[in-house]
Chain A
Amino acid sequence: MLAGGVAMLAAAGGLAPPLGASRLPKREIPSSGETIPILGMGTWITFNIGDNPEALTLRVEVLRRLLAGGGGMVDSSPMYGTAEAVIGRCLARLGSSAGLFATTKVWTSSESEGRAQIDDSFRLWGVDRFDLFQVHNLLGLETQLATLRAAREAGRIRYIGITTSHGRRHDDMAAAMRRERLDFIQFTYNPLDREAESRLLPLARDQGVGVIVNRPFRRGGLIDLTRGKPLPGFAAELGAKSWAQLILKFALSHPAVTVAIPATANPDHMTENLDAARGPLPNADLRDRITDAMAAL
């Protein structure tokens, strides 16, 4: 597989979309009206590879496929070890960041460390401007939001957000959404983690805040759960050829969701994710049926 990935890379040039691929749908960022592709990519674990050259080659291909396929958001954090540095190396290898929606986080309660982390992120990614900077897990929220606002005024970043995951701290996130002017919130949403539907997703719509969905596959746990299990009949209605596509379509289908950022180290999985995002998405009834089908496994 690695050899295949290297060969693909050798053959690949630039970021031209694959022949026959339709455009990836876009959604509006409520605070600005700008539209961004509904599919992005997270980098937790998958891009923390140190300086392993073989692994880097595969990540370059993953990122190439995302950008060539019309995807945009790449999300990282200083908490993710070498992930930011690896993204920077991937972008350098690609030679182009066209279409990239550069997104990372600040992860500390200290103001000075926060500033240092922000500077490090610029250096590691090799970008002049970040599209989105978020406060990771609401850590040092007030302090870091002040720093990020100053960075936005200086033109270094465009949007500001806050994150959580695993369905935690929804109360704190909702309170912050009411208190602060935010462009994005990020949390976990998938067929078996639907708590956000009761409060955060409606609140995001009301407040005009963009929503980033992390862990749509529960870090692969949902894929493990469905492995070897037959797809439900209604998957064909949605054009889903795998459980992974069905699960991703679920996350993307909520009208308040702006973008989903599944992480992968496998270029073929990236292609599969892009295909899922291009096809039809489930309505509320089908979303319930997806949840029921998975809960029954």
Chain B
Amino acid sequence: MSCHETVKVKDSNHERKVLLVGNPNVGKSVIFSRLTGVQVESANYPGTTVDVSSGEFTWNNKKAVLIDVPGVYSLEANSVAEEVAINILEEGADLIIYVLDATNLGRNLDLALQLAKYQIPVVYALNLVDIAEMQGIVIDTKRLSELLMAPVIPTVATQNKGLKELAEVSFTDNNQELAATSQRAPVSSEMRWKKIDQIIKEVEKEGSKQESFLQRLGEWTIQPMPGWPIAIFVLLLSLGIVVGGGKGLRALILLPLVNNIIVPFITTVVSAIVPEGIFLNLLVGEYGVLIKSIEWPFALVLPYVFLFYIVFSILEDSGYLPRLAVMADATLKRLGIQGGSIIPLMLGYGCAVPAILGTRTATTKKERMIVTALVSFAIPCASQSAAFFALLGDHSLLVLVLMYLISFLALAGVGAILNRVIPGQTQPLLIEIPNLLPPDWSTLTKKLKMRMKHFLVEAEIPMFLGILLAAVVVETGLFNQVSIWIEPMVSGWLGLPPESSLSLLLGIIRRELAVLPLLELNLSTLQLLVGATLALFYLPCISVFAVLAKEFSLKFALGIGASTIAAAFLFAGIINHVGSFLLLLVG
């Protein structure tokens, strides 16, 4: 993680510094991604938890550093993001590219007019002009430019329209009369809005409306009917793509590749070099590091993680998630969190680490704690889900469905309890619903690349070490001793074979490692459900533990650790005993 790096704001050789400023949801990140090259750095702004991206912006051999200032609605330091935006503006820059949403010009101008006091030249990118036109909004850019006394470039960032002109203007000195502008800038919000109304009256003309399918769909998604069926359809479709697609990728490409080509190749080569014995077994034996650290992450886990992030990133960029938040708000409120928290919860199905970091945007401490607890307790991450699909998908779909049902029940239970126990308030929902947009592939691939890189770095090293640990304890016989020690718990209370204690040992390192060793055992259907439940609740992985300790406190992390272990043994044991009893009745 690059959380400790600081954002490069002042370059030693006075490189041109350009700030990208605007409201949230105006297409700022698409413009940023299109204007900058491959090298983009994203890091916490010093002293805060807000990420600020910066990248190199070039045009005609001229270079500048482009800083993506967090999207904010005002500059009154109402939130951490606004504080960061103010700090960056106060540090100064050579130019501001201010992104205006053509479909909502008035409100966007409010922040624009507040920028005058920083005395930095501004170039306006009037974005989303295509959608504005479809909504019957025609803007006189020439007049707008005269009134704002700065260049205004109409753009459609997702189609690369207007970006060349924007880059050209950004590198041209246009000698704006800054002193004059700032003097004329309205100070109070009332005066600002008077001026905005005046500007709008002069530049905005009504054209012919032409409702697009996406617009109509957007309207539907915020009505209870058909919004709810649409939400269910979207979630099921996403699940289908991840589960079905992942299974397909594994069966058709990854498993044959790994099992028929890579593994035999490694085994042959290693066996030829390394003499038989414990060392060979460590490398290519039952838990051979070289075999399992390729088979487990690449053939089992990677396809699901990859597809999850594709689906999640598309949903995120399409503007659908705030609509889902509106739908889910009434339900989530009863768990002590607001609708907006559905986003970190969904992200938790990918990985708990970004989900917990995502709770930073939660407005109250109570809400942050509840979302974090839910993610740590009962939301399996993509890697663990992949392991569940591998373990249960082929044996018993019923158990797989049951396990997810248990997970939902636990979410409701934990949420309802914590809502009562933790003092404090839940911040009421108040959000803007952005336009529904087709995803921009260039932004999407960049985001996907970053997320996959993060997964590979975060996952592969602990996975390798975990498998090495497994290989060592199994091959040296150490494992048998540990097993005997915890056998009463595992065999007696949980009804699992003693070998499954390996899951408990490895589950400390990564969530999917609590499941994968069970693959190698021949478990009955009930044992599968018990094992799956145990793994579901069992400790979040080491990375999550570290994030909990860093973001909250060591005490909080230990508390989550202890209660997840207790819950895992309690519920898995109950399922074992109730299940055995029921089987006895049936048999």
A, B co-complexed: no
Residues on B close to A: CB < 8 A? Answer: none
Residues on A close to B: CB < 8 A? Answer: none
